[in-house]
Amino acid sequence: MRTPFTGVGTALVTPFTKSGALDEAAVRRLARRQIDAGIHFLAPCGTTGENPTLTDEERLRIIDILLEEAKGAVPILAGAGGYNTKEVIQLATEMERRGVSGFLSVTPYYNKPTQEGLYQHYKAFAASTSLPIVVYNVPGRTGVNVEVSTLVRLAELPNIVGVKEASGNVTQMCEICRAVPPEFIVLSGDDALTLPLMAVGGRGIISVASNEIPAEMVRMVEAAERNDFAAARQVHARILPLMLINFVEANPIPVKAAMAAMGLLEEAFRLPMVPPQPASREKIQNVLKDLGLVKAQRAALV
């Protein structure tokens, strides 16, 4: 039986209407598409979901919709993080009442806590809930890195169950896998580094690319889980251009532009996020065409 929050979790985009409202119908369609493709869990209200521009009401509405669509088929790892520990706990409490399976919690950002501050933040969060918490380490966005020694301390707390490691530092990833207990889940936060991480003990990915190609990401990761790295590498080599083009500009600009070209949602962002520049859009469209994700004539009209 699969351990919760291993395999492929989709860092869901948040679809908006052209007027800027939450597109609830699109949230439902995207959730259904993910579940039908065999995704292992859903991770809404994170970086890819434009979390900083969502209201708490919208976050909770997204959770309600996903729970309705999932009907228990896949766990919901809800995004609940931030730089105010008290507010993080308040939001997580509301999400827990609705029935989420756990939390993906980004480190406090902007106020740049010390390693002791990070530990105390997560310790307080963990004490407030019985649900599992996955630490989200993305120093390129938050300005602070969760060091290996801090993760080892956090792993001693019963409901701190894993880390989404998005430092981009392969050496640090290797050190984490070596240092934490075997049951502690180490997930990649970068699609392109999923296989390297799994080769040293990682358990999967919280993925941007699975918004576009959920079945392919599942195929790659499940092959790696079977230790069939030859098959996993074949999938990886084919979809690597998409993994990389998703970061030609700040996430989630490219992935939402790609999904719009694929007919999955309206291309709508909330400021300060804006549509991709023309040169980036052309690169995105070329990758989509090469992978057969859009027809050439459709991409030319976007």
Q: Which residues of 10-24 are buried (b: 16+ CB within 10 A; e: fewer)?
A: bbbbbbbeeeeebbe
Which tens digits make up the pLDDT trace of 121-146?
999 999 999 999 999 999 999 999 99
Which tens digits make up the pLDDT trace of 13-30?
999 999 999 999 999 999
Report pTM: 0.95
The answer to whether 63 and 98 are in contact (CB under 8 A) is: yes
State the CATH architecture for 7-229.
Alpha-Beta Barrel (3.20)
Domain ranges of the chain: 7-229
Residue 296's pLDDT is what? 54
Residue 3's pLDDT is what? 81
Q: Judge whether residue 185 has pLDDT over 70.
A: yes
Which tens digits make up the pLDDT trace of 279-299?
999 999 999 999 999 975 444
User: For the chain, how big is the Rg over CA atoms in Å?
Assistant: 18
Q: Judge whether residue 176 has pLDDT over 80.
A: yes
The answer to whether 105 and 131 are in contact (CB under 8 A) is: no
Residues in the chain: 302
Which tens digits make up the pLDDT trace of 212-255?
999 999 999 999 999 999 999 999 999 999 999 999 999 999 99
Q: Judge whether residue 105 has pLDDT over 80.
A: yes
The answer to whether 113 and 139 are in contact (CB under 8 A) is: no
Q: Which residues of 214-243 are buried (b: 16+ CB within 10 A; e: fewer)?
A: bebbbbbbbbbeeeeeeebeebbeebeebb
Q: Judge whether residue 301 has pLDDT over 50.
A: no
Residue 161: CB partners within 8 Å, gap ≥ 6?
5, 102, 132, 133, 134, 183, 184, 185
Report which of 25, 190, 53 is spatially closest to residue 33, judged by C-alpha positions.
25
Report which of 178, 76, 169, 163 is spatially closest to residue 118, judged by C-alpha positions.
163
- Angle, CA of 52, 288 and 260, to the nearest 5°: 45
The residues that are catalytic are 136, 164
- Angle, CA of 220, 263 and 278, to the nearest 5°: 90
